Each structure stands twice: as structure tokens, then as C-alpha cells.
A and B are shown apart, each in its own frame.
Chain A
């Protein structure tokens, strides 16, 4: 999946979730931040990680 398509997929998902939680009016206000977040989620979802890689919390 291209980076743009992936970002759009995240943006759509986050936006729908925001409308459900906060309503359309508030969602419009935070839309630039939703866009930034979608971009970041797309970047990390494309990053190649080994299957064995574990998350880190207090390391």
C-alpha cells in the first residue's frame, strides 16, 4: 500500500471515530491534528519490524 493511501486510510478511520466521540463540529477543529496523527500512524505501520520484536515500556 502506498504511503498516501495508508495515511488516507488512517485519517478516515480516526476522523470517523472522532465524529462519534466528539461530534462533527469539534472534529473539524481538531482535524489538523488528526491529519498529523494519521501521517505518523502511516509511517510507523510501514516500518519493517521483525516478527520477534517486542514492545518496550520501561527499558
Chain B
């Protein structure tokens, strides 16, 4: 029988419901996995063993009495260390907050707990989710970055230290580490999941997202996390559908729009040729692959994003920075200092471009079931001083459209590659349906043998 920690989230749920797996055994299995791998990977910053073992025992006891709190009863989930967790340190990967213990749970954590999940611990993040790296290493090659800012969450899920973990994305902080580590990463529509109780980076760009090892697992987690929150004004009133139902696609054949502009010219050769092979495979399986003509506003999205992120990041940190200058690391310090120089009129112009681009994309998306790009311009780069470049994800963080990374194969160096699928605003149901179909066609399941060669390398 497979080690409980290596089961998919959906399998864990089924086995717990059928009483074939106890939350206590599952917790023991993931802790054993963490003990053996985390000294190398460094995905975790806080784990309160006694508390979570007691919590797992409580969950096991409840099952024996016929009580299930919700769909995630007894499932251990990792939480990026920028989400408030009541009574548990939340450092945001920074010396500035090294002793901060929040008095309440972020809404996302509250919803996980309400659904029966156990917060396994806090995962490593870059400083305040910006660019100063966490110590986490890429499980496929320890000398490469796992990506960031949600570095620990992606690496922990990739190595089965937990079946799912929360992350966040302002530029490319979910999709990029997901691609570099070979896992599914979902960034839903802006406003789909509450950001209440999450350290902000840039209020109008921040998205809560998460990592799993399959699309079906992502659908379960989204169902738990999505929905309006009166404590977060940016959350939408849009109804939350049942994402677990594999919806039927209204249009057959499936129409996938490929974004060549910008993506082809900025991809490493092996990345673009891999993406073309993926397109051919999807086409052979019945999809129509069509080239997308991007709107003129696409040319300004990277610059608009840079201005908004710097200005809002600086606005959030200004007072903290004044008091704690010496504790800030160089990349965030640079962002704050330059962000403080941005004139208000220019910031508002960037916000106008953001709105225009979203409107343009709404029109473009009417012709497709989803768009497709390579998730990243290269496989995970060597070195730990940078977490890679977010530019392939930036347009979708700016537009707020939902995106998902699907592992799609391996690079020449034996590192994972991924494709990024982009859906319509609040069209996560359809996006997940398309992603499920692609996942089935591509049949790629990545699983690193930490620090060594991969177990089941499936290149194209």
C-alpha cells in the first residue's frame, strides 16, 4: 500500500471517509516525510508537532463518533507564512515580523479549518512575498530555485510533505513555483478568494492561490476557499459553483487560443518547442488550437504592473520601513524606495491601463475556451539568489483572470516544465474542466527523487 503522504488529496478524503485511513496515521506519515526531506528542501518555517498531533487525534476521535467537520476532515494542509494563523507565528519571511503572532485566522485559513483541514504548519516565503529568496530549494535539483514567492508551499506539495498548500500571487508567485516544482498551481480570478488576514503586497494585484498535485484536488480546495467575504471589499458576490463536478464543455471541439506574441520570443528554445509539442498532442486529441491576436494594451501590461506593484508595495511598507530599515532585505528595500517616488497621476494611469486590458481580454476570451502559454520562460534557473522571472504570469495577475499551471513534461536538464491555461473572469469551473481534459491527454505526473534524478521522468 502507498504511503499515506503520497496519496492525492481526493484519495486521502475518500480513504478517511471510508475509515480506511485515520487522520492520525496520515499525520504521522506526513511528519515522517517532512523529517526525512525538509532538512534538504527547507520548505517549512513553523510546525507545532504537539498541537497538530493532538488536533489529528481529535479529528480521529470525531470520526469514530460519526462526526465529519467538512470535506477536508483530517487533511493536513500547508499555509504560506503570510497568512494569519491565530496563535501561530506569521513572519512573512521577514525579520520585521519575526515575533508576530496573529490574534485571528485569515479568512482562507478559517475556511480550511471549518472544512475540517488541519493547518500542518507555515511554509517558507520570500520576504513579504517579494523577491528576496526563502532558503527553500528545488526538490528536482537542490542547486536550483523552487521559484517564489510561495517557495515552500510549492516544494512541500511536490515532495508529498502535504497534499495541498496555500500560496499567493501578485506577479507570478503561484504559477511560477508550481511550474518550477512540477505541481498544479491555481490562481483564481481576482476577488474569488478573500485576502483578509493575508499580509498585503499590492492590494489591487494580490490573489490567494494554492498548490495541489492534480486538477481534481484543486477543484476541491477552490470549493472550500472561494466566496464573498464581508471583511475583504475586493471579494466578489459571484455565486460559487460546484467545482468538483466535471462540467461539460459547451463548445466542441475545445477551442484553445495560443498566445505566441511575447511568449515565443521570450521563451528558451526548448520551452517553446516543448509547448508546440504539447499543442500538437492536444490537437491530436481533438482540440482546435488557434492563434490569439493580443490587444494593443498587452504592450503596456508589464510596465503598468511594475508601477502599481511598486507604488502599492511602498504605500503598505512606508511606516514599517521607517522604523525597521536595517531589517529589510535589499530587493524589498529597493522596491519601497523607488515605489515612494512614483507620482500619483502615473499610478492612476497604470490603473487605467489595467482596467482597459481586462476589458480588452474579456472581448478576446469570447472566442476561446481558454488561452495557453508556456508557464515560464525557462525551467527553474540555477542558483538560490533569485526566484526567477514573473513576466509570463504578470499579464494575468494584472487582468485578474484565473490561471492554472499544469505540469507538462521535463526539460533537457531534468527539471519540470508547465503550461499556463488562462480562463475567463469567474470562469474557474470551465478552466478546471479544460485543465482536467488536458491533464488526461498529457498524462504527466511529476514526482521528484529529492536531490537525485526524477523517478518518473516523462519528457516530450
Residue ranges of A at the interface with B (Cβ–Cβ < 8 Å): 14, 17-18, 21-22, 26, 30, 33-34, 36-37, 39-41, 43-45, 47, 49, 53-59
Contact = CB atoms under 8 A, between A and B. Distances in A.
Interface string B297-326: 101101110110010000000000000000
Given A40-B307, A44-B349, 11 more contacts: A18-B337, A18-B341, A22-B337, A30-B337, A34-B338, A40-B303, A43-B303, A53-B352, A55-B349, A56-B355, A58-B233
B342 interface: yes
Contact of B341 (A17, A40, A54): A17
A55 B310 contact: no
Contacts of B300: 43-44, 47
A55 B303 contact: no
Given A49-B349, A58-B191, A34 B341 contact: yes
B279 interface: no
B360 to A, nearest CB: 12
B346 A54 contact: no
Contacts, number: 88
Contacts of A34: 338, 341
Given A33-B334, A57-B204, A21 B340 contact: yes
A49 B356 contact: yes
B311 to A, nearest CB: 10
B191 A44 contact: no
Contacts of B304: 40, 44
Contacts of A30: 334, 337-338
B74 interface: no
A34 B354 CA distance: 22
B429 interface: no
Contacts of B348: 55
Sort A-B residue pairs by CB-CB distance and give the 9 closest, nearest first: A56-B355, A55-B351, A40-B303, A58-B234, A43-B303, A53-B352, A47-B300, A40-B306, A55-B348
Contacts of A33: 334-335, 337-338
B440 to A, nearest CB: 34
